[in-house]
Amino acid sequence: MTSASSTKLDFANSPINQALTTERKIELFSQMVRIRRFEQAGLKYYQAGKIGGFLHLYIGQEAVAVGTISLGGADDHFITAYRDHGHALAVGMGMNECMAEMYGKQTGCSKGKGGSMHFFAPDKNFWGGHGIVAGQTPLGLGLAYGLKYLGKEGCCLCYLGDGAVNQGAFHESLNIAALFGIPVVYVIENNGYSMGTSQKRSSAYSGCLAQRAEAYAIEWDVIDGSDIYEVRAKTHIAMERARKQHQPTVLEIDTYRYYGHSIADANHKKYRTPEEIENYKQNHDPIAVFRRRLIEEGVLTEETATAINKAAADEAAASVKFAEESPAPTIADISTDVYWETDHDTSASKIGRHFFND
């Protein structure tokens, strides 16, 4: 959904965006394009039956992950729900390991044990990829608690959808975040629909969903998710509040998904009008908006943009080939990564029976 604001500010002039070099701007644009091309390839091979399970596409929402994660420093951490491909690529995970994971291959980021909804890269401060709506919200709280406990000046960005705001775990997390002064930023990626139920039919609210934060004395803001400059400018403030003041924030980033809740969502053209989808694509597509902007700024040319697009499509195609050619997990692989102690063959793992197979 898009903000109704008629007096839109230009966030290109905010210091955090003024600090962007030409190269960095092109890199952010490229990341958004890569996410879209990766997912388009995923969709193609999901529909061809090569990828199992669910496929929750991020297409239309790319500026949210790319804009927010671009602000991350060494001690900033990220965790999200099952619509996780965009965040995974934005933190720097490779297309190969992500595509192979969706293919259920041994070379996948989770060795084919997690699937599309469960991408992880702790070495890049990315902690998943979580399948239960709002189940990750206490974990994000805990990552931020851990940062504070360990004396790190960092924060955790914890993403959730607009449907997740009605889960108890989220409210418990907000209360604790405020009570304990936890450096967590909750980012509600509001695409307007919790599966097939619109925001108005699923949530009780006065102005917006983020405003619920007031009940917990937490700062909040609303962001136009089609404008990566606005995403960066406002999220930066929340992250600084977390890092420097140990105070949480709830951000609501208005965005839109072009596809259904998942590709198994057969009704997504029934609960939304074709006009609504078309309007977003024409006027608010985050990649098209940023592309136009960068061309206006003289940062990008049509030729460069086209080349970036082609490179991303080629990279996605190569990741499909990598996934296709990778080996599947073995039956023996089913029983690893269950316990740390057995995986590391420790003395503790040799005492008592850990597995109860027939």
Partner 1 sequence: MSRILTYREALREGLDEELARDPNVVLMGEEVAQYNGAYKVTEGLWKKWGDKRVVDTPISEAGFIGMGIGASMLGVRPVMELMFWSFHSVAFDQLVSNAACVRYMSGGLCNCPIVVRGPANGGTGVGATHSHIPEGLFAAFPGLKVCAPATPADVKGLIKAAIRDNDPVYVMENTLLYGTTGEVPDPAEGDFVIPLGVADIKLEGSDVSLIAHGRSVIHALAAAEILQTEHGINAEVLDLRSIRPLDQDAILKSVMKTNRVVLVDESKPFGGVSAMVAMLIQEHAFDYLDAPIKRVCSIDAPAIYSPHIEHEQLPNPRRIVDKVLTLV
Task: Based on the shown chain and the rule CB under 8 A, indicate whether residue 141 belongs to the binding site for partner 1.
Answer: yes
DSSP-based three-state secondary structure for 38: helix
Q: Do residues 136 and 168 make contact, with C-beta atoms less than 8 angstroms apart?
A: no
The residue among 179 and 307 lying less far from partner 1, judged by its C-beta, is 179
Task: Based on the shown chain and the rule CB under 8 A, indicate whether residue 178 belongs to the binding site for partner 1.
Answer: no
| Termini Cα distance of the chain | 52
Smallest distance, partner 1 to C-beta of residue 146, A:
4
Stretch that binds partner 1, among 119-127, 234-242, 289-297, 312-320 (CB under 8 A): 119-127
H or E stretch including 251? strand 249-254
Smallest distance, partner 1 to C-beta of residue 242, A:
15
| Per rule CB under 8 A, count of chain residues that contact partner 1 | 57
DSSP state of 121: B
Of residues 4, 74, 150, 331, which one binds partner 1 by CB under 8 A? 150
Of residues 94, 146, 181, 196, which one binds partner 1 by CB under 8 A? 146
Of residues 20, 71, 79, 165, which one binds partner 1 by CB under 8 A? 79
Q: How far apart are CA 140 and CA 228, in angstroms?
A: 23
Smallest distance, partner 1 to C-beta of residue 169, A:
5
Report in angstroms the alpha-carbon separations of 124 from 94, 203, 251, 337: 11, 34, 23, 20
Task: Based on the shown chain and the rule CB under 8 A, indicate whether residue 132 belongs to the binding site for partner 1.
Answer: yes
Task: Based on the shown chain and the rule CB under 8 A, indicate whether residue 336 belongs to the binding site for partner 1.
Answer: yes
Under 8 Å CB-to-CB from 200, ≥6 apart: which residues? none
Task: Based on the shown chain and the rule CB under 8 A, indicate whether residue 355 belongs to the binding site for partner 1.
Answer: yes
Of residues 135, 196, 241, 313, which one binds partner 1 by CB under 8 A? 135
Q: Do residues 323 and 105 make contact, with C-beta atoms less than 8 angstroms apart?
A: yes
The residue among 23 and 123 lying less far from partner 1, judged by its C-beta, is 123
Smallest distance, partner 1 to C-beta of residue 171, A:
8
The residue among 19 and 332 lying less far from partner 1, judged by its C-beta, is 332
The residue among 310 and 350 lying less far from partner 1, judged by its C-beta, is 350
Q: How far apart are CA 95 and CA 114, in angstroms?
A: 16
Q: How far apart are CA 39 and CA 34, in angstroms?
A: 8
**Contact set for partner 1, span 228-257 (CB under 8 A):** none
Task: Based on the shown chain and the rule CB under 8 A, indicate whether residue 163 belongs to the binding site for partner 1.
Answer: no
Beta bridge partners of 254: 190, 224
Report in angstroms the alpha-carbon separations of 60 from 40, 55, 56, 190, 263: 12, 15, 12, 12, 15
Q: How far apart are CA 3 and CA 231, in angstroms?
A: 13
The residue among 122 and 298 lying less far from partner 1, judged by its C-beta, is 122
Q: How far apart are CA 109 and CA 329, in angstroms?
A: 12
Of residues 36, 83, 87, 118, which one binds partner 1 by CB under 8 A? 118
Task: Based on the shown chain and the rule CB under 8 A, indicate whether residue 303 belongs to the binding site for partner 1.
Answer: no
Under 8 Å CB-to-CB from 12, ≥6 apart: which residues? 18, 229, 293, 297
Task: Based on the shown chain and the rule CB under 8 A, indicate whether residue 140 belongs to the binding site for partner 1.
Answer: yes
Please report, as a single letter, which amino acid is at residue 74. A
Task: Based on the shown chain and the rule CB under 8 A, indicate whether residue 138 belongs to the binding site for partner 1.
Answer: yes
Interface residues with partner 1 (CB under 8 A)?
A: 77, 79, 108-114, 118, 120-123, 127-132, 135, 137-147, 149-150, 168-169, 172-173, 175-176, 179, 336-341, 343-344, 346, 348, 351-356
